[in-house]
Chains A and B, each alone.
Chain A
Amino acid sequence: MNLDQQLFDYLLRVADSDLILAQRLGAWVGHGPVLEEDIALTNVGLDLLGQARLWYAYAGEVEARFAGRQRSEDELAFLRDSSEFRNLLLLERPNGNYADTMARQFYFDVWHRLLLSELNRSNDARVAEIAAKALKEARYHAERSADWVIRLGDGTDESHAKMQAAIDELWMYTGEMFESDSTDQALAAEGIGCDASELAAPWREQVTAVLAEATLTLPSGAWMQSGGRRGVHTEQLGHLLAEMQWLQRAYPGARW
Chain B
Amino acid sequence: MVSSAQHLDSRHAIDVAWSKLAAIPDPEIPVISIVELGVVRDVACEDGEIVVTVTPTYSGCPATEVIAEDIQRALASSDLGRFRVQTRLQPAWTTDWIAPAARERLRAYGIAPPGERAAASPIDVSRLKRPVAVAISCPRCGSLSTKELSRFGSTPCKAQYRCEDCLEPFDYFKPH
A residues with a Cβ closer than 8 A to B are 36-37, 39-40, 43-51, 53-54, 109-110, 113-114, 117, 125, 128-130, 132-134, 136-137, 139-140, 142-144, 146-147, 150, 202, 206, 209-210, 213
* Pairwise interchain contact A43-B156, C-beta atoms closer than 8 A: yes
18 contacts between A and B (CB under 8 A): A36-B150, A39-B150, A39-B152, A39-B153, A40-B152, A43-B152, A47-B156, A51-B60, A54-B59, A113-B123, A129-B90, A132-B92, A134-B59, A137-B58, A137-B59, A146-B127, A209-B128, A213-B127
Which residues from chain B contact A134 at a C-beta distance below 8 Å?
A: 59
* Pairwise interchain contact A146-B125, C-beta atoms closer than 8 A: yes
Report the Cα distance A132→B153, complex, angstroms: 23
B residues with a Cβ closer than 8 A to A are 56, 58-62, 89-93, 121, 123-128, 130, 149-156, 160, 174, 176
Report the Cα distance A49→B175, complex, angstroms: 21
* Pairwise interchain contact B89-A210, C-beta atoms closer than 8 A: no
* Pairwise interchain contact B123-A49, C-beta atoms closer than 8 A: no
* Pairwise interchain contact B125-A206, C-beta atoms closer than 8 A: yes
Question: Which of B58, B89, B125 lies at the interface centre, i.e. has the most chain A CB atoms within 10 A of its CB?
Answer: B125
* Pairwise interchain contact A36-B126, C-beta atoms closer than 8 A: no
Question: Which of B91, B93, B126, B128 lies at the interface centre, i.e. has the most chain A CB atoms within 10 A of its CB?
Answer: B126
* Pairwise interchain contact B92-A140, C-beta atoms closer than 8 A: no
Report the Cα distance A48→B39, complex, angstroms: 20
Q: Out of B60, B92, B121, B176, which one reaches A46, CB within 8 Å?
A: B60
Shortest beta-carbon distance from B151 to chain A in Å: 5
Beyond A43-B156, A133-B92, A146-B125, 14 extra complex contacts between A and B, CB < 8 Å: A37-B150, A40-B151, A46-B61, A50-B61, A113-B123, A114-B123, A129-B92, A130-B89, A132-B92, A133-B93, A136-B92, A137-B59, A143-B130, A144-B151
Which residues from chain A contact B128 at a C-beta distance below 8 Å?
A: 209
Known: A36-B150, A39-B150, A46-B156. A142 touches B62 (CB 8 A): no
Question: Which of A51, A139, A210 lies at the interface centre, i.e. has the most chain B CB atoms within 10 A of its CB?
Answer: A139
Question: Chain B: which residue is nearest A43 at the CB level?
Answer: B152
A-B pairs with lowest CB-CB distance, top 9: A50-B60, A50-B59, A46-B60, A36-B150, A129-B90, A40-B152, A43-B152, A129-B89, A209-B126
* Pairwise interchain contact A210-B125, C-beta atoms closer than 8 A: yes
Shortest beta-carbon distance from A51 to chain B in Å: 5
Which residues from chain A contact B152 at a C-beta distance below 8 Å?
A: 36, 39-40, 43-44, 140, 144
Question: Chain A: which residue is nearest B93 at the CB level?
Answer: A133
* Pairwise interchain contact A47-B58, C-beta atoms closer than 8 A: yes
Which residues from chain A contact B125 at a C-beta distance below 8 Å?
A: 109-110, 113, 142-143, 146, 206, 210
Report the Cα distance A132→B89, complex, angstroms: 9
* Pairwise interchain contact B59-A40, C-beta atoms closer than 8 A: no
Question: Chain B: which residue is nearest A207 at the CB level?
Answer: B125
Question: Which of B59, B61, B150, B154 lies at the interface centre, i.e. has the most chain A CB atoms within 10 A of its CB?
Answer: B59
* Pairwise interchain contact B130-A50, C-beta atoms closer than 8 A: no
Which residues from chain B contact A54 at a C-beta distance below 8 Å?
A: 59, 89
Shortest beta-carbon distance from B9 to chain A in Å: 33
Which residues from chain B contact A147 at a C-beta distance below 8 Å?
A: 127
* Pairwise interchain contact A53-B151, C-beta atoms closer than 8 A: no
Report the Cα distance A130→B126, complex, angstroms: 25
Q: Out of A36, A50, A129, A143, which one reaches B58, CB within 8 Å?
A: A50
